[in-house]
Amino acid sequence: MTARVHRSGRARLIEPVCRILLAAAEFATRRRLAVSTIGLALTLVLGLTYMIFGALGVDPTAATTTVRVQLADSGGLLPGQNVALRGVPIGHVAAVDITRDGLVATATFDAGTRIPAGGHVAVKTLSMAGEQYLDFEPDRDGGPYLADGAVIPVANTSTPAPLWKTLTSMEGTLAQIDPARLAGIIGELGVGPEGPRKLGEIIDGGTFLISTLDSVLPQTVSLLRDSRTVLTTVADAGPGLREVATDTDSVMRGAAGMNDGFRTLVGATPAMLTTIDAVIADNSPTMVQLLGNLLTVGQMAYVRIPAFQEFFFPRGRAGSTLGALADEAIHDGGIWGIVSLYPRPTCDFDHPRRQPSRPDLPLPYLYTSCPDNDPSVLIRGARNAPRPPGERDPAVAPPGREQAQASPTPIGPQSFPLTYGGPPPTDPPK
C-alpha cells in the first residue's frame, strides 16, 4: 500500500514536466521555420561572441597602452597587424597615419605588458609574402618602461627595404651578368645527375656568404669605401703601372736569358749555406763577442747617418755619388777620366821630411789635416763632414800630439826585422 502511494506521488511530479515538453514539441512542430530561424540566430550570436572575445581576445573592459612609433616609411605595415615584444605578439597596430616628416604607427597593447624604454623598433616580415609586424627590441630588461602616449623617434626605428629599392639595387648586378655565360653554366649543371645537388650547394653557399656579410655590414661598407679610394688611386696610376709592367717584362726576359746562371746559383747555394753554417758553428764561442762588436759598429754608424747621407747623396748637386761615378766615368763601353792641367790648390802638411832614399816603410802620422782654413778649399774634406754633436774633429790633432804616429807593426814569431844595408841616406833639400 505504501509503495503504491509513493509511485503515484512520483507520477504526479513528472506529469507536469512531460506535459510541458509535449506542448513545446507540438509548438515547434507547428512552427518549425520560426524555431529554425531562432536557433540559427542564437548559433550565430554565440559563434561571433566566441570569435571576438575568445579567439581574437577583444576585451572592451581591459586597459590598454598606446605608443606612437615614427617611421621613415611604412615598410608594408598596415593597421590591424601584430605588435610583438622580441617576437612574441602582445597587441596590434591601431593605425598608420601620414605626417609631415614621414609616418606614425600607433601600437596598442595590454597595459599589463611593460616594455622597457629605449632600444630599437623594427618593421619585420614573417615570410617573403609579406605579413609585416611591428617588433619592439629593447636593449635592457628593467625600467623605465614605455608609458601610455610615448613616442619612439624615427632614429630608433627601421623598416625593411622595399621591393623597388631591392630591384633597383639588383639592376646593376644583373647588368654585369652575361646571359650567354649564365646559360652555359645552367646547361653544364643540367648535364650530369649531380647538377641539382651542385646548384643547391651554390645557392646555400651564396646564402651563407650574404648572411655573413650582413652580420658585418658596417665593416663591409667601410671596406667597399676604402676599396673605392684604393682603386681610384690605382686607376690614376695606370700609366705608371703600364711602364712598370713593361720594365718588369724586360727584366723577366733578361732573367729568362740567365736561366742557366740561376740554376748554377741555386745548385751552389746549398753547399754555400752548409759552409756558412760550419763557419758559424766553428765560431760560436766568439759569436757573442762578434755581435757585441757589431752592436758598437751599428751605434757609431747610427750617429753618423748624416755623414753617410752627405757622402752618398750630397746636397750640393742632384743624384748620388755612386750614380755620378757610374754616369760620368763609365759610359760608351769604357771608363773615362778627365785630366786637368790647370793648377789646383795644394796643401803642405806640417810634418818633418824624411830622406827619400831610405828603403824602409815609415810609420804614418795620425793627424794629417790640411792647415789651410780657406772655406773654398777641401769643402768635401773630413773637416766639413757632418758629425755627431760635441764630437771632436778627428783630423785635427789634440794639443801636443801634432807629430803622433801610428803604433809599430808587431813582429810575429815567423818574422824578424831586417837591418838597413844600403847607401847612407841623404837629407832632403832645404
Smallest CA-to-CA distance from 124 within 170, 171, 168, 88 is with: 88
Q: Which set of grid coordinates corresponds to residue 63?
A: 586597459
pTM score? 0.35
For the chain, which residues score pLDDT lower than 70? 1-11, 55-62, 128-130, 190-192, 195, 316-319, 321, 357, 359, 375-384, 418-430
pLDDT at 2: 46
DSSP three-state, residue 237 = coil
What value does the mean pLDDT of the chain take?
Answer: 79
Q: What is the DSSP string of 120-150?
A: EEEEEEEETTEEEEEEEE-S-SSS-BPPTT-
pLDDT at 368: 79
CA max distance for the chain = 189
pLDDT tens track for 288-306: 788 888 888 888 888 888 8
Q: Could you give the angle at the alpha carbon of 331 between the alpha carbons of 329 and 335, nearest 5°?
A: 50
Q: Confirm if 116 and 142 have CB atoms less than 8 A apart.
A: yes
pLDDT at 11: 66
What is the C-alpha separation between 416 and 27, in angstroms, rounded? 159
pLDDT at 347: 74
Give the DSSP H/E element, type plus range, for residue 64. Answer: strand 64-71
pLDDT tens track for 251-267: 888 887 778 888 888 88
pLDDT at 5: 47
pLDDT at 426: 67
Q: Cis before residue 429, ω within 30 degrees of 0?
A: no
